A and B are shown apart, each in its own frame.
Chain A
């Protein structure tokens, strides 16, 4: 069997006396779209922060493509190909849309101030390739018409699309999306799920945290459910929808299950 792209073992995260994550095990295979759901405060965002290196876990191991990345710093983890986006609108507000994407667009070798400064030929060539990618990403996320705007002047849907575009520009093998469709209207959601599927078709594995049940059930191959920091279930969307414990913890008390 092929090596999973992401493997999390016995992950525990404590903040003082609060146990935000308790012995969580998660495996994500290459090419999947995996959903991560759970009621508010279940530890979904904490899990994202730990995976992406923003928090150091109290216990447990994280393997990315077989490599132990536990406790590495976030910019390193990004360069390995594990990229996360943020909840809400977190953008470079004072840079144009196209610049937001360019800045995230990394080429394999580290940028070097001096070569960059002198405009060395090798770097020039990489600029062109990067420019090509920027154009493709803008097209994929539907931002062509607004590429020279400042993000603060954009409608909400475009802002969220830009958030995903920034993550995509960082050249991910695994892209972790934190609530990409929250607050969107139906049309925008449709477009975003389309973008997510197309990213998968290009070989990017997706890990998705989302509140909108319909989105999760509609696009995900598999779903994990967290509650009070513990993984209480995993399976296909259909299995999760019928799981007694999940319904009790999450869906049963809310109308969201049917929306």
Chain B
């Protein structure tokens, strides 16, 4: 397993030297999308999906771009700020809306998307409105690709490592437990609202980092780059990949991003084909790819061995407390 991961990483690191710019460009988008998807999953496993993940991506992009353009700050500082500012927003929206029941969180995040979209469009003196920001400086001259390729793959690996560690911590187990049964989680002393706000904020932070790298790589952002559809795409990646395991949203983001790119060649049919695949995936594998693999393994186990043996495929994961 580890060997395979190292081989894939080595391949990806060597990739831009022989692939040509187009394919490397696609991979940069894949890396950033993976960051968005695994960040979104964190809250999603507790049974809540937000409507503003792409808005955090946008806030990261605008924060980093404006700091670089208006104040001329070095990129490292811009990147840092791009991660922090979304966290402040996430706490401000998450804290009041998650302590009450029902649909308030959905409404609050949707409203937040609307408000920020409006800010990006109409606060012209700051954001240049619908025209967007152009010539955004970054770590390398505009038009260069390799530095951004390595920056984005670096962010992706960093994000996945953090998420991997979180998954194996008590915090990660609490998130799964809340997703299983919120009431029971409360009854054993898990503060559901606080735990969710933390998950929401961590997701927002990584979305902000990704937004910063996106903005400085493309060197142009506008409100149209971060529509409601962008958030829905992130949701789709997580749903298709499956959220119970970390590899789910990674697989979802990779396949669906590549698939969308492949469909681009089919021209006007793109949207229709995408929709067909999406519907098929939701109907055929409701638990996503993760659920599909689990089911296949379970079936294999049942055929191969005695029914009395535990069907769980992994050794006991120990939750630290």
* A positions within 8 Å CB-CB of B: 52, 54, 73-75, 78-79, 83-86, 90-96, 98-99, 102-107, 111, 113, 116-117, 119, 123-124, 126-127, 130-131, 147-150, 153, 166-167, 169-170
Contact = CB atoms under 8 A, between A and B. Distances in A.
Contacts of A169: 188
Contact of B188 (A93, A107, A147, A167): A167
Given A94-B244, A103-B177, A117 B316 contact: no
B186 A116 contact: no
Contact of A170 (B170, B180, B183, B188): B188
A103 B173 contact: yes
Interface in B295-321: 310-312, 316-321
B102 interface: no
B192 interface: yes
A127 B165 CA distance: 16
B310 A148 contact: yes
Contacts of B317: 96, 99
- Central interface residue in A91, A96, A166, by most chain B CB within 10 Å: A96
Contacts of B177: 92, 95, 103
A166 B319 CA distance: 14
Q: How large is the interface on B (under 10, 10 to 19, 20 to 34, 35 or more residues)?
A: 20 to 34
Given A90-B183, A148-B316, A166-B184, A113 B189 contact: no
Given A83-B188, A103-B173, 19 more contacts: A54-B183, A74-B186, A75-B186, A75-B191, A78-B188, A83-B187, A83-B189, A90-B181, A91-B184, A93-B181, A94-B180, A102-B319, A111-B174, A117-B169, A148-B310, A148-B316, A150-B312, A153-B311, A166-B184
Contacts of A149: 310, 312
B131 interface: no
Interface string B171-203: 101101101110111111111100000100000
A153 to B, nearest CB: 7
Nearest to B191: A75
B142 interface: no
Interchain residue pairs A-B with the least CB separation, the first 4: A78-B189, A104-B188, A102-B319, A130-B321
A92 to B, nearest CB: 4
Interface in B262-321: 310-312, 316-321
B157 interface: no
Contact of B171 (A52, A90, A104, A113): A113
Given A78-B188, A105-B321, A111-B171, A92 B181 contact: yes
A70 to B, nearest CB: 17
A95 B180 contact: yes
13 contacts: A75-B189, A86-B187, A94-B180, A95-B180, A102-B173, A102-B319, A102-B321, A103-B174, A103-B190, A116-B170, A119-B320, A123-B320, A170-B188
Contact of B169 (A98, A116, A148): A116
B69 interface: no
A96 to B, nearest CB: 6
Nearest to B190: A75
Contacts of A96: 312, 316-317
Nearest to A130: B321
Contacts of B183: 54, 86, 90
A167 B173 CA distance: 17
B316 A126 contact: no
Contact of B181 (A91, A123, A131): A91
Given A99-B319, A149-B310, A94 B189 contact: no
B169 to A, nearest CB: 5
B166 interface: yes
- Central interface residue in B170, B171, B177, B185, by most chain A CB within 10 Å: B170
A127 B188 contact: no
- Central interface residue in A79, A96, A107, A113, by most chain B CB within 10 Å: A113
Nearest to A100: B177
B316 to A, nearest CB: 5
Given A102-B173, A116-B169, A116-B170, A84 B318 contact: no
Contacts of B318: 102, 127, 131
Contacts of B165: 117
A103 B319 contact: yes
A127 B169 CA distance: 11
B188 A166 contact: yes
A106 B189 contact: yes
A166 B312 CA distance: 20
A148 B169 CA distance: 18
Contact of A127 (B176, B179, B320): B320
Given A102-B318, A117-B165, A148-B316, A95 B188 contact: no
Nearest to B186: A74
Nearest to B99: A73
B187 A113 contact: no
Given A75-B191, A83-B188, A94-B180, A107 B166 contact: no
